[in-house]
Structure 1
Amino acid sequence: MADNSIGTAEQLRDPNYTPALHKAIPLGIQHVLAMFVSNVTPAIIVAGAAGFGFGSNSPDFPELLYLIQMSMLFAGVATLLQTITIGPVGAALPIVQGTSFAFLPIMIPLVAGKGVDALAALFTGVIIGGIFHAFIGTFVGKLRFALPPLVTGLVVTMIGLALVKVGIQYAAGGVPAIGTPEYGSLLNWSAALVVILVTLGLKFFTKGMLSISAVLIGLIVGYIYAIMVGMLSIEAITGSWSRASAFALPMPFKYGFEMSAAAIIGFCLMAFISAIETVGDVSGITKGGAGREATDKEIQGATYADGIGTAVAGMFGAFPNTSFSQNVGLIAMTGVMSRHVVTFGAIFLIVAGLIPKVGGVIRTVPIEVLGGGVIVMFGMVVAAGISMLSDVDWNRRNMVIFAIALSIGLGLQLEPGALQHMPDTARILLTSGLLPAAVIAIVLNLVLPHELADEATEEVSGGMAGHGRGSLPHDDHA
């Protein structure tokens, strides 16, 4: 509910209104708490997939710290582009940007087991994909016809399904521990379960700040539990803190520049998905916070900021940025539409990103504890996709499109060996599962005649008739 003590109803709906500082700053930090864990998690996942050592004495320690640091810094920079704007870049709305989960199914195969050497091609792909993403802003409004809930819901569901395996692996002990006796031990699972139970308890039995920060607080409780049961020592924490510097600036092209067809194609194709996600978030903010539809200028500016923020991030070793949906819900809940509130949150992120000691503390979170949070977050991604699919008219045409796209996309993801004879570029793109599913769904939705919706195709659906929007079958239904 809106807090009327912050301003009048008219002021709360005005993006240009600034509440008093003693209220605006806590509201801004609240936005950061809502997205903080989700923002740094992709950096840890990509580092783990690349084979980085997670110990404080590992030679990869500084690289992991840097990736976490850049995730915070450039989430703040991209958010400032949205709230303050530069010319046509930015929506001048309270849009919070952060590292996108959507690109993980592309990034993980690109870096799998290749260590730091894989990052040059990855970040080159981020830069070029970001530039392409900004270009999409010139015509993003015209793309919406090709991306109904059937397509977008499928893609979001596939993103979550591609990542839930990561959560289970982390909760069991992490990828490096697979095959060892301690992998999947009760101790490992207990840490993950503590996080999940605390998160659920706070989410459903508390209100306000506690509910909004449920995942973050769950991780903190899991962190304390890990120390209590001996999974993490105080010496490891102090060692990480002491090894991290107090202040550090980002380095342009730290990992070099390397052209990779798989990376460039993958990031450019995923830019379409990210752009549509941003369109939905902008619409959600204006509806939830101001009770109106988003303007074409706002949607275009938001997409420009998405792309340029991503391209700049890639130059300094940060991952693609996108608008964060959880903050859309926060605006609807608080009723505060002020973009300047989010600006304070962006400044907080930038300051944290310039202090590597913050990343040093984050790095000490045991992988099992992080696994509990990841299971919740990626499960919510799947749930969000299913929620979008609830708007689909489930006639037989749409069932066939969904079935084929999901079967091929998920199947290739589960059995990557089926593509072992494909060229490297094609294999990386296809085994993500996400891109083939999205392309198949988009193409079939555009080319299949809608007349199929009324035809009896029991031989395809196995006798299971589809019914739109969860409705019950009528007696005269075929």
Structure 2
Amino acid sequence: MAETTGTYSDPNTTPPLAQAVPLGLQHVLAMFASNVTPSIIVAGAAGLAFGGPEQIYLIQMAMLFAGIATLFQTVGIGPVGARLPIMQGTSFAFVGVLAGVAATQGLGVALTACIIGGVIHFCLGAFIGKLRWLFPPLVTGLVILAIGLYLIPVAIKYAAGGAAKFQMEAESFGSLMHWSVALTVVIVALGVKFFTKGMLSNAAILIGLIAGYVVAYAQGMVNFGAVAKASWVTSITPLPYGFEFSLGAVIAVTLVSIVSAIETVGDASATAKAGAGRDATDAEIQGATYADGLGTAVAGVFGGLPNTSFSQNVGIVGMTGIMSRHVVTIAGVIMIICGLLPKIGAVIASMPLPVLGGGVIVMFGMVASAGLNVLTEVKMNRRNMVIIAISLAAGLGLNLVPTAVQYLPGVVKTLMTSAVAPTALCAIVLNLVLPEED
């Protein structure tokens, strides 16, 4: 597809259907792998069988509610929705917190925290502009960097063939067979990303995963048993793991929600600038935040993880020059259709761990790189370097050595070992307390 197909700087205009459908598919391809990966990781942390029906269900909900949340953004309901071409998807920012909660307290607690966190996130829309001063590039960059650094070990474990303790003790863990598959994904994804253009380049991770999938299949690593058993139409279950309240989990998810809301403000602003050459209006920023929170709360009720705006899709708007929100509405409808077909979820769930590992090595590395990119806006004087040092040391250090705070109360311990929460808290407090340097 050509990189520029026309001038559609008004969100309410629509390209001809022959262009609009491929453009919508392009948005789906750019975010598809990133959208389903968090659910796979959190399901694994919760101890769900890899490729089992429960994991397939969580994957289905990730696709279904990414589509529904996208429609909240593009079509809108009253004040909800920016009505800009913003693609929603499952957020990586919450993976660290939710994986930890799911592993220690169960998916019921994790999803309940998502519902409550989504409601709080929704309420942030009323005064999101007044909170932006708490999250300058120094704070948001640190939080995003901490998320990426926390997740990279998970990527390496998957690439080597496992994530759970018993899998890492297996003889095959770290074998050449596993690494050959993971490296196939990485090499193909990089090749496609940097040596092709347009739709192919935007779908680089997805194409890399398909290549790794083929190599894994050739080595006898793929089992299609679950695909054959999966039904053609999904059944949606409210509160599939019950409603279990944990204050620590809610606080941790809410802290990440605030950061996610600030990211959405940035994405809304970037979309308006890239597609129309203007600043986003206050109503658009508020509507984008409302849609974020509503999408997260509704998804949580049915087993979906928190949703947020996807920055890579902002890049597509800038690349194509197509500002039409209706193009992204088509993308949302495609995701809803995928979410209603369990066969698709079963195919994704049949993906061997090394295939997924190769993909998330790139994805998680890019999350960390995005954090570094935000930090390039920060002047590296002694004050800011101290804030970076202490925030990362506290956040990542306590996560790596959780027994260091084993005597803290449960709520506080959950927060202190979540990586993201202590990094954010330290960065915010130190940025407010330490005097600026000339």
- Normalised to the residue count of structure 1, the TM-score between the two structures is 0.89
* 1:146 and 2:142 correspond: no
2:156 is matched with which residue? Answer: 168
Counting only pairs closer than 5 Å after superposition, residues 98-247 of structure 1 correspond to structure 2 as 98-112=89-103, 118-176=106-164, 177-232=167-222, 236-237=223-224, 239-247=225-233
Question: Which whole-Å CA distance do the structure 2 matches of 1:36 and 1:26 have between them?
Answer: 15
Contact 2:102 2:109 in 1 (8 A): no
**What SS class does the counterpart of residue 357 from structure 2 fall into?**
helix
How far the C-alpha of 1:107 sits from its partner, in A, is 0.6
**What SS class does the counterpart of residue 242 from structure 2 fall into?**
coil
Q: 1:263 aligns with which of 246, 249, 257?
A: 249
Change (3 A) 1:361 1:2: closer
- Amino acid corresponding to residue 35 of structure 1 in structure 2: M
**Aligned residues between the structures:** 436
Question: Which whole-Å CA distance do the structure 2 matches of 1:62 and 1:188 have between them?
Answer: 24
Question: Which whole-Å CA distance do the structure 2 matches of 1:441 and 1:184 have between them?
Answer: 36
1:471 is matched with which residue? Answer: none
Question: Which whole-Å CA distance do the structure 1 matches of 2:385 and 2:104 have between them?
Answer: 38
Q: 2:305 aligns with which of 319, 329, 351?
A: 319
1:434 is matched with which residue? Answer: 420
Contact 1:134 1:308 in 2 (8 A): yes
2:392 is matched with which residue? Answer: 406
Q: Which moved more, 1:249-258 or 1:184-193?
A: 249-258
Structure exhibiting the larger radius of gyration computed from Cα positions: 1
Q: Which moved more, 1:346-355 or 1:408-417?
A: 408-417
**What SS class does the counterpart of residue 175 from structure 1 fall into?**
coil
**What SS class does the counterpart of residue 103 from structure 1 fall into?**
helix
Counting only pairs closer than 5 Å after superposition, residues 359-398 of structure 1 correspond to structure 2 as 359-398=345-384
* 1:89 and 2:105 correspond: no
1:468 is matched with which residue? Answer: none
**What SS class does the counterpart of residue 427 from structure 1 fall into?**
helix
How far the C-alpha of 1:230 sits from its partner, in A, is 2.0
CA deviations on 1:385-441 (whole Å, 9 max, x unpaired) are 001100101111111111111111121122112111112221121111211111111
How far the C-alpha of 1:2 sits from its partner, in A, is 7.7
Aligned-residue sequence identity (percent) comes to 59
How far the C-alpha of 1:34 sits from its partner, in A, is 0.3
Counting only pairs closer than 5 Å after superposition, residues 229-308 of structure 1 correspond to structure 2 as 229-232=219-222, 236-237=223-224, 239-308=225-294
Question: Which whole-Å CA distance do the structure 2 matches of 1:398 and 1:442 have between them?
Answer: 12
- Amino acid corresponding to residue 386 of structure 2 in structure 1: V
Structure 2 runs not aligned, ≥5 long:
none
Contact 1:162 1:432 in 2 (8 A): no
Question: Which whole-Å CA distance do the structure 2 matches of 1:384 and 1:64 have between them?
Answer: 29
CA deviations on 1:317-367 (whole Å, 9 max, x unpaired) are 100000001101111111100000000010000011011111010011100
- Normalised to the residue count of structure 2, the TM-score between the two structures is 0.97
How far the C-alpha of 1:113 sits from its partner, in A, is 6.2
2:26 is matched with which residue? Answer: 30
1:40 is matched with which residue? Answer: 36
Contact 1:2 1:333 in 2 (8 A): no
Change (3 A) 1:137 1:2: farther
How far the C-alpha of 1:108 sits from its partner, in A, is 1.1
Question: Which whole-Å CA distance do the structure 1 matches of 2:397 and 2:227 have between them?
Answer: 43
Contact 1:133 1:303 in 2 (8 A): yes
- Amino acid corresponding to residue 168 of structure 1 in structure 2: I
How far the C-alpha of 1:86 sits from its partner, in A, is 0.3
Following TM superposition, where does structure 1 have runs of at least 4 consecutive aligned residues deviating by more than 2 angstroms?
1-4
How far the C-alpha of 1:203 sits from its partner, in A, is 0.9
